[in-house]
Amino acid sequence: MKKITPTLVVLVATFVACNSTKETKTDMQNPFFAAYETPFQVPPFDQIKEEHYLPTVEEGIKQHEQEIAAITANTEAPTFENTILPFDESGDLLRRVDAVFGNLNSANTNEQMQALAREIYPKMTAHEDNVMLNKALFERVKAVYEQREGAGFDAEQMRVVEKYYQDFVRNGANLSDEDQAKLRELNQELSKLSLQFSENLLAETNKNFQLVVDNEADLKGLPEGVISAAADEAKKSGLDGKWVFTLQKPSLIPFLQYAENRDLREKIYRGYFMRGDNNNEFDNKEIISKMVELRDEKARLLGFENHAAYVIDVNMAKTPENVYDFLYKLWKPALDVAKKERAEMQSIIKNEGNNFELASWDWWYYAEKLRKQKYDLDEEETKPYFSLDNVREGIFYVSNQLYGIQFERRTDIPVYHPEVEAWEVKEADGSHVGVLYMDFHPRDGKRVGAWNTGFRDQAYKDGQKVQYPITSIVCNFTRPSGDLPALLTFDEVTTFFHEFGHALHGLFTDGPYQRTAGRVPRDFVELPSQIMENWAAEPEVLKVYAKHYKTGEVIPEALVQKIVNSGHFNQGFATVEYLAASVLDMDWHTQEFSGDVNAFEKTSMERIGLIDEIIPRYRSTYFSHIFSGGYSAGYYVYIWAAVLDTDAFHAFKESGDLFNAELAAKFRTLLAKSGSDEGMTIYRNFRGQDPSTEPLLEKRGLK
């Protein structure tokens, strides 16, 4: 998500869907109510219909209530075996349907699915509150927690007990009845607002803006592939003979990079950065106002100074002050570099005989000129070597070299959309690891961005693994067009590597308890994904997967060197726009809010000295990571994890072997056992030392 996906909530939540369910009198035509008779027991997408979701959710809630009632009715003294373990294993059917519905509502939604979401999610929010505020259940969990020191628990059991107790407390179990009732109201309202924010953004991105070009002269500067894709988009919209550009990144970014018509660059960029801020039915400002106030009220109710303090309390950073300190240490060097980049681009404008000042909608266009000038590198020159199929094979190669795993395309596995690919992942000896779905291209029912998610997590029963993971990568990459295959920009290549890192985390996670297996702090989540990006640009790896889509020619050494040389290119801009968004996120969840969303954002950015030519990577009204994606007071985690990932990759580089077997085995252990201990402890077990910031600063050219 992304990058994260956002990812983002679904990646961290545990969606375990065992394939045996309790007998029920409900409609057995509903595929959720029977064992999946599919390869590897994947969801039978070809049988699941929209009318199946709500009855399954209702039955899942009922079954979960019965399971919890059985725990609380037990008259024996609370123990791990009669309280913690059955609670850890409960809620199977509900997770089963939630995994499918939640993922498809993000990747393949429609008006009917959205209407269902508005009915289903309030029910699930209420049920979650009923569970976490169940006094009898909490008393049993608390009893086990208070007696944990002398109970003879192993390390895994101890952590499960402590994390569940923490979950209950953080979800209001210690509040008075009156305050618990208030908490329920807050949770319901926040759930509805988050869903509404997401629906508004989807409409603003996919439905409410098109740049229609009917004069061929206005296409000047655009590569043929971009023009062809715009013609295809126009045909889909019934505008044959014209060209349509959208706010999806594969359409937007090339237009900003190459279109010579400055007025049209401004028009499409304004369409992008004004999403959710157009004072129409899809405006998100009032939603934001309500959400930040309700989040602050909830945090104070739970005993925290603000929402950021509540969120970060369980992260590696621990406090908002630590996050701000971390961001500000990077801000000045990044801003200094961005200002130098601005000056270089302003010189190009002047040398071309123009007298206007660089604006935000000019940055991509003149940055591309600067790239050619400084590095003799044209992104269009590299794209023929980055066909989607070749990049996928390159990722498979890296994964195989590191971990020995293999990938087999399966056409007998049901998929939720004809474009989705299904792959079986195997160990070197052929034994099953899991199933991987890949969904690459934009469509009207898919939200923006890229993310990894899961349809099922690994699970144990009586000490034996009974369930293998089903993970999914969802992206919005450039589509094939005409005779051209899907040719990726290098940014899209690194996004693919990134999301694959998340997928490997899900596939390798191995632990006996749902609460801890793979459940890591938010500021640890991006380590497994971001470390994979490092291999994408290594010359040794590029020569394996970067092959011309027509000739099969391996990318020339000279072009590889240009890519390597340009590694620091535009890093001031990239780091500043990201850090600006991270500070904006933190400000929303720590600072007093006057009620004016745009004024708050303006004040936030002026305080840190953001230059006019750069806007935050996400303005508030389309900042889905923090208002609908689970990264509130947590967008900083990408660069926090970047310190970890560059330090970890530095270990491979230091060893002289990109695929050092010993280090790869240790890193796989990190992935497998993540969640079994504190994040920094897990990292130190891999690295043998605390992470250093030096590799990150060097990588980005900020020192």
Angle among Cα 651, 652, 657 to the nearest 5 degrees reads 145
- Is 499 in the active site? yes
Evaluate whether 454 touches 11 at the Cβ level (below 8 Å).
Answer: yes
Residues 518 and 14: beta-carbon distance below 8 Å: yes
Count of CB atoms within 10 A of residue 63's CB?
18
Looking up tokens 């690194």, which residue turns up?
Answer: 494
CA–CA separation, 683 and 313 (whole Å): 19
Q: How far is CA 214 from the centre of its chain?
A: 37
User: 402 phi and psi, to 5 degrees?
Assistant: -80, -45
Domain for residue 217, yes or no?
yes
The secondary structure element, H or E, covering residue 103 is helix 92-107
Kindly state whether residues 80 and 192 are assigned to the same domain: yes
Q: How far apart are alpha carbons 81 and 544 in whole angstroms?
A: 51
Whether residue 192 is found in the same domain as residue 216: no
CA distances in angstroms from 633 to 368, 395, 463, 625, listed in the order given: 33, 32, 37, 10
Tokens representing 249? 């990144």
Q: Which of 137, 144, 113 is nearest to 50 (CA)?
A: 113
Domain count, the chain: 2
Q: Report yes or no on 181 lying in a domain.
A: yes
Buried b (16+ CB within 10 A) or exposed e, 530-567: bbbbbbbbbeebbebbbbebeeeeebeeebbebbeebe
Intervals of the chain under pLDDT 70: 1-28
Length of the chain: 703
Whole-number pLDDT of residue 28? 60
E strand or H helix that includes residue 426 = strand 421-426
Q: What's the confidence (pLDDT) of residue 27?
A: 57
Q: List residues bridging with 547 in a β-sheet.
A: 554
Clarify whether residues 162 and 215 are in a common domain: no
110 and 180 inside one domain: yes
Which of 282, 253, 565, 220 has the alpha carbon at shortest distance from 383? 253
Beta carbons of 518 and 527 less than 8 angstroms apart: no
Residue 257 structural domain: 209-262
What residues have CB less than 8 Å from 382, skipping those under 6 apart?
489, 490, 546, 555, 559, 563
pLDDT at residue number 14: 32
**Residues 62 and 98 grouped into a single domain:** yes
C-alpha dihedral over 474, 478, 482, 487, to 10 degrees?
-110
The answer to whether residue 600 sits within a structural domain is no
Q: What pLDDT, in 10s, does the model give residues 260-295?
A: 999 999 999 999 999 999 999 999 999 999 999 999
Instruction: Let me know whether 217 and 99 are in one domain.
Output: no
Do 218 and 190 share a structural domain? Answer: no
Check whether residue 70 and residue 182 sit in a common domain: yes
Give the integer Cα–Cα distance in Å for 438 and 452. 9
Kind plus residue range of the DSSP H or E element containing 388? helix 388-403
Structural domain includes residue 668:
no
Task: Retrieve residue 196's tokens.
Answer: 């509404």
87 belongs to a structural domain: yes
From the candidates 499, 526, 533, 601, which is the catalytic residue? 499
CATH code, 144: 1.10.1370.40
Q: Is residue 81 part of a domain?
A: yes
Task: Judge if 116 and 252 occupy the same domain.
Answer: no
**Considering 220, 246, 262, which residue would you say is the last residue of a domain?**
262
Question: CA 472 to CA 591: how far, in whole Å?
Answer: 37
Say if residue 163 is in the same domain as residue 223.
no
Query: CA-CA distances (angstroms) from residue 430 to 355, 405, 423?
Result: 64, 8, 14
Residues 192 and 87 in one domain: yes
73 and 100 both lie in a single domain? yes
Among 135, 121, 264, 266, residue whose Cα is nearest residue 190: 121
CB 11 within 8 A of CB 451: yes
Q: Has residue 60 been placed in a domain?
A: yes
Task: Please tell me the pTM assigned to this model.
Answer: 0.93
> Phi and psi at residue 457, in whole multiples of 5°?
-100, 165
pLDDT at 169: 98
Q: How far is residue 21's CA from residue 540's CA, in Å, rounded to a whole number?
A: 49
Residue 157 lies in a domain: yes
